[in-house]
Structure 1
Amino acid sequence: MVRRVSDRHLRLGIVCYPSVGGSGVVATEIAIRAARAGHDVHLLSYGRPARLHEAVPGLRYHEVQVSGYPLFRYPPYDLALATRMAEVHEEAAIDVWHVHYAIPHAVSAWLARAMGARELRFVTTLHGTDITVVGADRAYARPTRFALEQSTEVTAVSRFLADETVIAFGSRKPIEVVPNFVDTVLFAPGTQGRYWARADHERRIVHASNFRPVKRVGDTVRAFAQIAAELPARLWLVGEGPDREHALAIAADLGVADRVEAPGVKNQHELAELLADADLFLSTSETESFGLSMLEAMSCGVPCVSTRVGGVPEVFGGTGRLVPLGDLGAMARAAIELLSDPDQHRVVGEESRARAVAEYRAENILERYLALYRRVASGPERHPVA
């Protein structure tokens, strides 16, 4: 069956996790920007997304309620989500659903369709750990493969992740690479000057993440301790997560606790201000399919030093510095070099900003998603890959 969707506004359903991780941030920004462009958007999650701070005309948030029935050891969020998706699909006549993260969101979309939500078409966007960590778990590998096959279209945030998905699951469904994006107006270079313009010449280094084990934030602190032994420096740890307190404990053990701070950042405006005032971004991740926080730093003209993993080389595109995973000495040396040479620092910062503007502007990536939504909504109803 072929549906006709002209240039009229779209009715979109978007599903994401509410956390500050890349998938939740990108999904929420798509929802906000699509609504401001005149489309009707319904955003579903189990909690209010971190970047949904205020009411947006055209955007309606639906919190998915999960029953605490005592028989269940673990509340079945996937079932509750499927039910809510089916309800919203029928009530709002959704043209296209966009689910971020394969498990459980894509499975819930399939279940909503199987329960009778007619012509439910959905795009699944892969963000990284849904394939490299969750999808690699034997308990979730088969559902992940099934979710990909049932999706109307599949996108990935980097070529690395698209290739990893094919290798891991033998997927025959085409995967379109649509990268993450950044608001280059909000995330812009600051006006206060870098370390060489400060009276104390203190180097301000930042790490921002969800502080999960895969981020190896302890390595960030250890690399910083080597930097701080050579240069006046301060480390800002931005974000929340299970390893945050452990990272602060490592700082105390290494004797740099007085130079490590964990500033509370309430929204993206405060994050942009902090990044614009930084001199360097450090990432010690074990795997990183994209690296949204690094892109935001690049947009602020801040040089980045990262482990050479996953999709990070794609994002850098020759800017920034890449070091082997676990080689903290190499990371410290790369950072010290940039933080000791204002001319080199200035060039890398300008190149990083230019790449962010040229390749990852939010307006350009949103247009790609809107074109995809129209194609999915107007095209023939797809049957899953056998």
Structure 2
Amino acid sequence: MKIGITCYPNIGGSGVVATELGKKLAQRGHEVHFITSSMPFRLNQMNDNIYVHEVEVNNYAVFQYPPYDLTLSTKISEVISEYELDIIHMHYAVPHAICGHLAISMANRDTKMVTTLHGTDITVLGYDSSLKPAIKFGIEKSDAVTAVSQSLIEDTDTIIKPNQDIELIYNFVDEEKFSTPKIDLNKVKKSLCISDEIVISHVSNFRSVKRVEDIIHTFYKVQFKKKSVLLLIGDGPMLFKAKTLVKALGIEKKVRFIGKQEEITHYYHISDFFLLMSEKESFGLVLLEAMYGGAICIATNAGGMKEVIHHNENGILVDVGDTNQASDYIIDLISDPEKMKKIKENMKQILINKFSTDPIVRKYESLYLGLLNKGSK
């Protein structure tokens, strides 16, 4: 098949999944065309069967803002026509599904469109009355729609109420990449001045929804009872507030601000625990990454995270904002090596049974083929 993929190329779960999916499809012999504003950040080396078409936006005096959506639609249309694409896969309903629908109309071809919902387009933008009709339109004009969690499907039905079936296809990560660190872990620890401390980590884009202050307060309570350090990896609007809170609590020497990193596998592998205490999270891709690295995850029971973490089996779930609960679980687990061992065994099992790459990629392949075999909508 000839498949076009449009996603946000910057750091974020949707871009990661879209890029990894494209790479896996290319490895399976399909011709994959990424149509994006820049090179996807996980596409760090070119692969056979992969092509990248960058969207260049020009400024014109007639437009108050650069017309990215129109330019993207035109570029997708050009790629559809030139390469005779069978499928275009749009990650996010707005603007990508809208652009995809327009592009197919412009190209005047029977190319099928799949849209994957990742969360923000529903749980944030879906509450904007000026955008809800566009989101609904994009979903309903798609030949097939998938979502990354059952929770997101339910949110979509409640908030958008589209007249369209939505199929559940979970996220996945590159097992080989996150299972095997490429650098000496002892050197990593030494560079961070870590010796025998318990290592707790968090990776995010430091938006308010991630509730990084809860991560810090949880660690603050743990470090009183257990010798530990906190790794905060990433960058974003709440970073300054996080640094201010760390200083106010007097734990600067125990917290390492790592900043934005393209390669983070080794941080998972030196971590004993990984915290994701978001207010909303349609899936929580970093939970899979952390589990492959062997870190026990403590997450909130919000959104799709409870589909990734089964409480007291392959990780821990706590209520949003309950830092006492989170810190107590960490302290108790540190004192119970047998339970930690059992959780880690269960982590491996659920990764194999529920989030393995090949079965998930085959689901997308089957979806594409089903649309092509069905004929015109």
Normalising to structure 1: TM-score of the pair?
0.90
In 2: Cα distance, 1:91 partner to 1:130 partner: 30
The superposition leaves residues 154-195 of structure 1 with CA deviations (integer Å, 9 ceiling, x where unpaired) of: 0000111111111112223111000001222322277979x9
SS at match of 1:26: helix
Paired residue for 1:305?
298
The superposition leaves residues 239-285 of structure 1 with CA deviations (integer Å, 9 ceiling, x where unpaired) of: 23222233222212221122222325643xx3222211210010110
Q: More relative contact order in 1 or in 2 (CA 8 Å, sep 6+)?
A: 1
**CA deviation after TM superposition for structure 1 residue 87, in Å:** 0.4
* Closer, same or farther: CA 333–308 of 1 in aligned 2, 3 Å: same
> 5 Å matches for 1:15-94?
15-94=6-85
SS at match of 1:186: helix
**Residue 186 (structure 1) aligned to one of 173, 177, 201:** 177
For the 8 Å contact 2:80–2:104, the answer to whether it is kept is no
The superposition leaves residues 266-324 of structure 1 with CA deviations (integer Å, 9 ceiling, x where unpaired) of: 43xx3222211210010110111111001111222321111110011111134211111
Paired residue for 2:346?
351
In 1: Cα distance, 2:261 partner to 2:216 partner: 23
Paired residue for 2:268?
275
Letter matched to residue 367 of structure 1: R
For the 8 Å contact 2:281–2:305, the answer to whether it is kept is yes
The superposition leaves residues 65-84 of structure 1 with CA deviations (integer Å, 9 ceiling, x where unpaired) of: 11222343322211111010
Alignment pair present for 1:100 and 2:96: no
> 5 Å matches for 1:130-169?
130-169=121-160
* Closer, same or farther: CA 115–189 of 1 in aligned 2, 3 Å: closer
SS at match of 1:78: helix
Paired residue for 1:332?
327
Q: Which moved more, 1:217-226 or 1:150-159?
A: 217-226
In 2: Cα distance, 1:172 partner to 1:183 partner: 34
In 1: Cα distance, 2:63 partner to 2:232 partner: 37
Letter matched to residue 75 of structure 1: P
For the 8 Å contact 1:298–1:352, the answer to whether it is kept is yes
Query: How big is the alpha-carbon RMSD for the aligned residues of Structure 1 and Structure 2?
Result: 2.1
Q: Which consecutive segments of 4 or more residues in structure 1 shift more than 6 A?
A: 189-193
In 2: Cα distance, 1:62 partner to 1:211 partner: 30
In 2: Cα distance, 1:30 partner to 1:373 partner: 13
User: Can you give the 5+ residue segments of structure 1 that lack an aligned partner in the other structure?
Assistant: 1-9
In 2: Cα distance, 1:360 partner to 1:180 partner: 7
Paired residue for 2:202?
207
Q: Which moved more, 1:11-20 or 1:337-346?
A: 337-346
The superposition leaves residues 344-369 of structure 1 with CA deviations (integer Å, 9 ceiling, x where unpaired) of: 22211221122112211112211111
For the 8 Å contact 1:307–1:323, the answer to whether it is kept is yes
Paired residue for 2:309?
316
Alignment pair present for 1:230 and 2:225: yes
**CA deviation after TM superposition for structure 1 residue 94, in Å:** 0.4
Alignment pair present for 1:252 and 2:247: yes
**CA deviation after TM superposition for structure 1 residue 54, in Å:** 1.0
In 2: Cα distance, 1:203 partner to 1:117 partner: 59
Letter matched to residue 297 of structure 1: A
Normalising to structure 2: TM-score of the pair?
0.92
In 2: Cα distance, 1:200 partner to 1:93 partner: 57
The superposition leaves residues 183-227 of structure 1 with CA deviations (integer Å, 9 ceiling, x where unpaired) of: 22322277979x9xxx95301111111222211112212221121
For the 8 Å contact 1:299–1:357, the answer to whether it is kept is no
For the 8 Å contact 1:17–1:23, the answer to whether it is kept is yes
- What percentage of aligned pairs have identical amino acids? 38
**CA deviation after TM superposition for structure 1 residue 117, in Å:** 3.5
SS at match of 1:124: strand
In 2: Cα distance, 1:67 partner to 1:338 partner: 55
**CA deviation after TM superposition for structure 1 residue 11, in Å:** 0.3
For the 8 Å contact 2:20–2:174, the answer to whether it is kept is no
For the 8 Å contact 1:123–1:151, the answer to whether it is kept is yes
For the 8 Å contact 1:103–1:130, the answer to whether it is kept is yes
SS at match of 1:224: helix
User: Can you give the 5+ residue segments of structure 2 that lack an aligned partner in the other structure?
Assistant: none
Alignment pair present for 1:129 and 2:120: yes
For the 8 Å contact 2:232–2:259, the answer to whether it is kept is no
In 1: Cα distance, 2:40 partner to 2:185 partner: 31
**Residue 377 (structure 1) aligned to one of 365, 372, 375:** 372
Paired residue for 1:289?
282
**Residue 364 (structure 1) aligned to one of 359, 367, 374:** 359
